[in-house]
Chain A
Amino acid sequence: MSDVTEAEMLPGGGRANARFRAVLNAVVPEGVALDDDEWREAQAIIGRALTTRSLTVRRQIALFMLMLDAMSAVRNRRRFTALPAADAAQLLEALSKSKLLLLRRGVWGVRTLAFMGYYARARAAQAIGYHASAAGWAVRRKVGNR
């Protein structure tokens, strides 16, 4: 795995960035509507999560992303990053049901990062109607129990 460079492990530049974005758009359909600032925020969240993981985990994720490109080339004759979101989702769905635990784990890992990048943003929480706050009932009862 020594051929996997740091740039390919983290979103932030080049093909790694494009792969993470393609995964995010496939697993969260609303992801395609992220503007540049929102994507940069998601990217920063994913990047930060990866930097706190062990080098082994980062390499496994990066390697799985490379495999996605390869499998996409075989199955769809296009790079994963060039697939329409629906096709990318189909490929991920097929891999998530693979008999090989390694592939199922790979999908689980990248989808988790994508969910983190998308849903851990304050704007995404607001958009889905999540409003928990330290004030708890005090605030909610003022606005009609919701």
Chain B
Amino acid sequence: MIERDYDVVIVGSGAGGGTVAQELGKLVRAGRRVVLLEQGPRLYDDEFTGRELDMSDALYEDAGGFLTADGTMTLAFGRVYGGSTVVYTGTSLVAPRRVIERWNVPGLDHGDLEQRSRRYMAENNVHYLPDEELNENNRLFALGCERLGYRAEQFPLNVRGCRGSSLCNLGCPNAAKMGTNRVQLPAAERLGVDIVTRAEALRVEDRAVVVRVRTRGAGEKGAASEWAPGLYRVRAGIVVCAGGAIGTSALLLRSGLAPVVPRLGERFTCHPAHILVAEHANPVTNDVGHPKSFYLDRAEAEGFVLETCMYFPFVTAKNLTGFGAPHSAFMRAFPRLQMILVLACDRATTENRVTVDGAGRPAVHYRFTNAVITALVRATRTSARIFFAAGADRVHAPTAEPTTLVRPQMDEIDALINEGNFQSGRISISAAHLMGGCSMGRSARDSVTDGWGRVHGVPWLRVADSSLFPDALEINPYVTVMALADRTAQAVQADAGELLGGRVVLTTA
């Protein structure tokens, strides 16, 4: 095994890892050595083709087909330089005060999170798109909401020079989305942080990470790793895990941390989601323009959030329930489709959690609670009303039987869409907001870390990603991940003198 020595090693390059890497550039300026390990490749700009399978293979874990242990939900997360920030849509919201207060994490207050969030939103050029760049798919949602008396809100987005490819979830082909691959990671590298791609963290040892660096396979996208292929032990005085809710939980479980922090892997939440479509009589601009401009926040009142969305042919086909002629009729109507993503605000339970199998691979155990099913049904009913109010003729509703509703059935929505039609394994459910597993809290009795990402009882081990969330966030999580990672980085800098030995003089980066 090849040995390497650093002061800090960061695992993961998404919203959490990228933020920590940039912040710890200050340590590099103070003479410390920092390295970031990313399991996925570093893609060249011209490799972002926008082709569905091509990009899913290159950017997502299991090509976007990672399933929960019982196979009833697909979990989407990135595995590339920039992590999931390469494949999200860039919707940038500050965590709701009510959620942070409910989390009740000692030392974590909403004001602090908001201030950090706004700093990263400014850094990522977050702003509202002008009206002329909003497509009809989005406008119809706002119109439907307005006609029903709902207030749809516009998403602030982290784009610069967006050309409206609509391909955000396949990695922006125009380098317009300000993920960590475009902002924080290049900044970290300029400050002297080493970044090693195709580097899979196998386990954490005492002040070290064992990592396998892979060779670039034939036909694979991306640059070769910065290090020669092989097995490495990267020793460091501080280890920061930022591999996401599944990646970090699995890494720490593989590393035998469960006896130290028995809550490891618990409290997994993910905002389980349906994709709904409706057919209009006339063409709807939907495959051009940013896909996600508006949302309707019913989290507090009804336990769900609706968002505009637009997906690609295979993902759309997969996510509609059923098959055969009715399914095909919706697919053939693609240029006349309006889409809504419905997300249930799930609650953390001890039962829904991340474990590892005998080979150390992550397994996500997730049971749909009655509250989640009810939230999905309510969300589908509201969406159906919005679709019809916007002028749609036919609506695909997974929890209706049959799944196609037509306009004359508008008054029967509550009866037709109901919990009795929810059958896991038949209805397509997916999730991309993966949270929990290393939750923040008071002590090892109730959590894995404190409010600054310090793992209880292991002072040199830190966490800086969405695994920190003690419960669902009820909004799109990346800005909050950055804010929490910023806190983790601050704590690392504060503790560096003690943990790394010697005096650390920080300079402004």
Interface residues, chain A, CB within 8 Å of chain B?
Answer: 26-30, 45, 49, 52-53, 89, 92-93, 96-97, 101, 104-105, 107-109, 111-112, 114-116, 118-120, 122, 124-125, 128-138, 140, 145-146
Contacts and interface: CB of A to CB of B under 8 A. Distances in A.
A53 to B, nearest CB: 8
B236 to A, nearest CB: 32
A-B residue pairs, 8 tightest by C-beta: A136-B164, A104-B425, A27-B323, A134-B173, A129-B335, A136-B163, A115-B317, A132-B287
B283 interface: yes
Nearest to B173: A134
B398 to A, nearest CB: 12
B133 interface: yes
Given A49-B63, A105-B425, A137 B313 contact: no
B287 A134 contact: no
Contact of B163 (A97, A108, A125, A134): A134
10 contacts: A26-B323, A28-B323, A52-B63, A122-B51, A134-B165, A134-B174, A135-B163, A136-B288, A137-B288, A146-B285
Interface stretch (B188-196, B253-261, B326-334, B452-460): B326-334
Contacts of B327: 27
Contact of B314 (A29, A53, A101, A119): A119
Contact of A136 (B52, B166, B334): B166
A135 B312 CA distance: 16
B314 A96 contact: no
A140 B288 contact: yes
A30 B328 contact: yes
Nearest to A122: B51
A137 B161 CA distance: 12
Contacts of B48: 134
Nearest to A138: B163
Given A133-B165, A136-B164, A137-B288, A146 B335 contact: yes
B95 to A, nearest CB: 31
Contacts of B53: 45, 49, 116, 120
Contacts of B65: 49, 53, 112
A105 B72 contact: yes
B334 A130 contact: yes
B423 interface: yes
B289 interface: yes
Interface centre among A96, A104, A108, A131, by most B CB within 10 Å?
A108
Contact of A29 (B133, B167, B283, B324): B324
Taking residues whose C-beta sits less than 8 angstroms from the other chain, chain B's interface range is 35 or more
B57 interface: yes
Interface in B50-82: 50-53, 57, 62-63, 65, 70-72
Contacts of B71: 101, 105, 108-109
B4 interface: no
Contacts of B164: 136-137, 140
Nearest to B162: A136
B167 A132 contact: yes
Nearest to B170: A132
B130 to A, nearest CB: 12
Given A134-B163, A140-B285, A101 B425 contact: yes
B314 A131 contact: no
Contacts of A108: 71, 425-426, 428
B323 A92 contact: yes
Contacts of B323: 26-28, 89, 92-93, 111, 114-115
Interface centre among B57, B324, B327, by most A CB within 10 Å?
B324
Contacts of B287: 130-132
Interface centre among B287, B327, B428, by most A CB within 10 Å?
B287
B369 interface: no
B283 A146 contact: yes
B125 interface: no
A78 to B, nearest CB: 19
Contacts of A120: 52-53, 313-314
B334 A101 contact: no
B424 interface: yes
Given A136-B164, A137-B164, A119 B288 contact: no
A4 B287 CA distance: 42
B387 to A, nearest CB: 19
A119 B331 CA distance: 9
B97 interface: no
B165 A132 contact: yes
Nearest to A23: B323
A104 B428 CA distance: 11
Contacts of A135: 163, 165
A138 to B, nearest CB: 6
A101 B285 CA distance: 38
Nearest to B49: A134
A92 B71 CA distance: 18
B426 A124 contact: no
A130 B291 CA distance: 14
B325 interface: yes
A118 B324 CA distance: 13
Contacts of A133: 50, 165
Nearest to A92: B323
A130 B285 contact: no
A112 B323 CA distance: 10
Contacts of A128: 313, 331-332, 334-335
Contacts of B325: 29
B318 interface: yes
A137 B334 CA distance: 18
Contacts of A136: 162-166, 174, 288-289
B328 A116 contact: no
Interface centre among A53, A97, A128, by most B CB within 10 Å?
A128
Given A101-B425, A135-B165, A137-B133, A145 B285 contact: yes
Contacts of A122: 51
